[in-house]
Amino acid sequence: MAEQVLTELRTTHSEATGLRSIATDFSSDRQAFRNVSWGKAMMWIFLLSDTFVFSCFLISYMTARMSTTVPWPNPSEVFALTIGGTSLPLILIAIMTFVLISSSGTMAMAVNFGYRRDRRKTAVLMLVTALLGATFVGMQAFEWTKLIHEGVRPWGNPWGAAQFGSSFFMITGFHGTHVSFGVLFLLVIARKVWRGDYDHERRGFFTSRKGRYESVEIMGLYWHFVDLVWVFIFAFFYLW
């Protein structure tokens, strides 16, 4: 009996020590995990939580689409553009996708040159990425304006199921907000890289220690995530 009690006490002490160890690791002011900075770890946690949010939106959209008894609007007709008298289905969406995927490439190059501490090329490529992102948001604003003029509302539309409008504005609006904030942060970090804040250890907003371009890499994680989410939106909302 005494041995059993002693064993239980040791187990409890071991569990408490383990929990204290985890708490100490997470509350340290330098690193949460070995060789992983707080900034990068927190970005991964944020992206994980954002994945759940976007997944809920897409699952809700698919549930609404499969459960409605009213025909769902045909994306090829809804998102078509008339150019020179010819109706081109999904041409704007295809261009938007190309622009955003291209921005992912320029962001990857920016991170690569950041590792090499080539601040000018890094800053220029981040500015190009921001320009491509702003172009995407501009085309999305044009798409919204066109559909609103054609009668699409969150509560209805001229082509079919009323849930189409609410699903469209919710999903694309939430993603467009992410892209817009990403463009702003790209401009902020590109300016700091161009000024040499990461080379001269100039303290300030989003400035890491001297010689470390980690903020560029963290921004790259966020931007690649936004691009990846658009691939799923493109596949499930526009192509389905």
d(CA 88, CA 196): 46
Which helix H or strand E contains 82, and what residues bound it? strand 81-83
d(CA 8, CA 163): 57
Residue 13 CA, chain-centre distance (Å), reads 42
pTM value is 0.82
d(CA 101, CA 231): 9
Q: What is the pLDDT along the chain (240 residues), one digit of tens a residue?
A: 555 544 554 554 444 455 666 555 555 545 445 666 778 888 999 999 999 999 999 999 999 999 988 999 998 889 998 888 888 899 999 999 999 999 999 999 999 999 888 989 999 999 999 999 999 999 999 999 999 999 999 988 889 898 999 999 999 999 999 999 999 999 999 998 998 887 776 666 555 555 578 889 999 999 999 999 999 999 999 988
d(CA 97, CA 103): 10
